[in-house]
Amino acid sequence: MLGECWAAVGGDAAALAGLEVTDPDRWLGGPLDTDGLAVGTAGAALLAAAELAEARGLGRPAAAVSAEHLALSFTSERHVRLAGAPAGGGFAALSRMLRCAGGGWARTHGNYRHHAAALCRALAIEPSVDALEAAARSVTAEELEAAVVAAGGCAAALRSAEAWVAEGPGAAVARTPLVEWVSGAPPGSVVPRGEFGLVRSQAEQLRTRRAADAARPAAGLRVLDLTRVIAGPVAGRTLGALGADVLRVDSPGLPEMREAHLDTGPGKRSALLDLADEPAREALLARADVLLLGYRPGALDRFGLGPEALAARHPHLVTVSLSAWGHAGPWAGRRGFDSLVQVATGIAAACAAPDGTPGVLPAQALDHGTGHLMAAAALRALAARVRGEPARSARLSLARTAAALLAAPRPERERTAPTGAADHGRHRARFGDLELIAPPGSLDSVPLAWAHGPHALGADPPAWPA
């Protein structure tokens, strides 16, 4: 899958020889090639980092990654420790697979309180597992999915891979590439010269902020992280491990799970900002080099964060957007999470137990893999900017990553049992009482590393340093 992922971000096939994969094995296991997805997506990010280093005049560093370390990183949320005790949250009680009327299955997602409340409203139940399971037995999987989504909640009915691609949402996803590159500023657009305009050339902006060494090729570059949950935040923490100044901005009105913030927050600053604050928002965009967007397509258009409006105002900006179900098609605006995408796209059916009970991947690999691919796309687009090429932007989705995993050759059946990556101390990063899985990979034998641990949510000002 490394070749496919590298090609998806537009990489030169000759550069594949620049990545060494150590400790190759079936660390994660499962009937699908989850280990291959990990190596492919994270490997593409490392190769893109090496290309950026070369573009910035630092030579092209040799890249390497341990497949065992990757397996741990792809399950990093399970390995968070605070004062020696596990701090991972796992799934809430109302996030579960349910047997429905007619023998079908559906999965719900209630990790966030507002999604749990929508689920209970849709099914007219009290927030208990017993009530949820009873309600599910009275409706078909498709009826449950429709009711919960209509109420603003999150659910997905189980489908086979064949059924998914035969439906409108799956067919729309199948028509898009794994990484969809979109143009930057529209032809003939004028760079604004007002308060928030940038008039220097794209190449000059980056060349005047040299990285210190090839092991930190993104040093001096600014990444505005408007993402949540896992995939987008993984992209941000990956860029932070490569030296970028990453500022994650959250809305003051949206809740965040503490354990998720601990896992994906290292190497970033954290600020709260109402995006309706135009001067603060535009000042951030004007000085950013990369914008990571992880909200549903169209959700932020009212703040001028739609693709056309962004390109017109900030043509220098590399934007990498993430969605659950793709940026086109009938489900483009639907809420979604890795666990739900696995169920809808056929992954849960492919991982089913012998008795037909739907299964799961051994990691939230759609989230982690798509996050690494987002980072790879951002790094390659930055390298192009350094070379004086126009800024380009990319779009990815969990559902399209799922399609790539399903299409990959299956591992040999006799080796579907995982080897079991050990939580070795050498793969850990420590920040006081907090222990995390360190970022996987190295450049010129220097391991990737975060400059600091996660800052408290909202602890930093919503601005770039002077």
Catalytic residue ranges: 367
Q: Decide if 398 contacts 230 (C-beta within 8 A).
A: no
Read out DSSP for 387-422?
TTPPP-EEEEEHHHHHHHHHHSPPPPGGG-S-----
Q: Decide if 14 contacts 49 (C-beta within 8 A).
A: no
Given its phi and psi angles, is residue 326 left (phi above 0), alpha (psi -120 to 50 degrees) or beta?
left
320 phi, psi to nearest 5 deg: -120, 115
Distance of CA 413 to the CA centre of its chain: 29
> For residue 320, how many C-alpha atoms fall within 13 Å in the half-sphere facing its CB?
32
Q: Which two tokens stand for residue 29?
A: 């296991």
E strands, 282-379, where?
Answer: 290-293, 318-323
Burial string for 212-232 (b: 16+ CB within 10 Å, else e) reads: ebbbbbbbbbbbbbbbbbbbb
Q: How far apart are CA 16 and CA 26, in angstroms?
A: 21
Q: Decide if 60 contacts 18 (C-beta within 8 A).
A: yes
Query: Is beta strand 97-99 parallel, antiparallel or unpaired with respect to 105-108?
Result: antiparallel
Instruction: State the alpha helices, DSSP H only, in 320-397.
Output: 338-345, 347-350, 365-386
> Other CB atoms closer than 10 Å to residue 45's CB: what's the count?
33
Q: How far apart are CA 460 and CA 466, in angstroms?
A: 14
Distance of CA 102 to the CA centre of its chain: 35
Nearest one of 293, 275, 296, 294 to 284, comparing CA atoms: 275
CA of 288: how far to CAs of 52, 69, 245, 269, in Å? 17, 31, 9, 14
